Structure 1
């Protein structure tokens, strides 16, 4: 059959996305509040109502459109292009961002902030003690 005339089988797409997410039919069924047999039947369906598709998409952690537009070829292309830190989709090419800061700098900043907070706490405690001593001297 020619791929141009091949129909979009939504159930197979759901099944494949579920498998790629490492989810069993039983887990999907439990999340949807249906039986495993119902999930099996759902995955054999060529078409699914929008409302049910939205629920399945939410459980799988993808959008309804991601399920509708899913193809093995796009997944393979994504992972093949992943090594060059970019990927393409219908909106264009996107570059994956690399870490632009030194983690050690962030650690030093966090330590310095902790020191500043400690100094403020210590100063507040000193002021409290001085106030209490002043009150006790009056008595």
Structure 2
């Protein structure tokens, strides 16, 4: 399964302990993580400026994310009915990579769910959707 994490989810995965960190490691181990250069640039800025992570640690995080991700780029023609147009390239990059899930903490983006075959979900909803379902006895 191809999964795209929005910047807020990636930042939480490295700056805090909890669900986002668990999901990041789960996706690396069992699925395919997709990202974009724009997300990586934004992640680096957020870790340095907002979370005050030391630069040497950010360098290591960025190398780790790059090595574990398939990079996709947006289609310049894509358009989405959202107020924050900075999110459009992220959605487009995920669509171009044919991701099954776009995981975000941004409530405005949840309202778009789904975009084609791609689900737009919160980290908690992704955990529920990605968990293996028990087989039913026939």
Name the structure, 1 or 2, with higher relative contact order (CA <8 Å, separation 6+): 2
Bigger fraction of residues in helix: 1
TM > 0.5 fold call: no
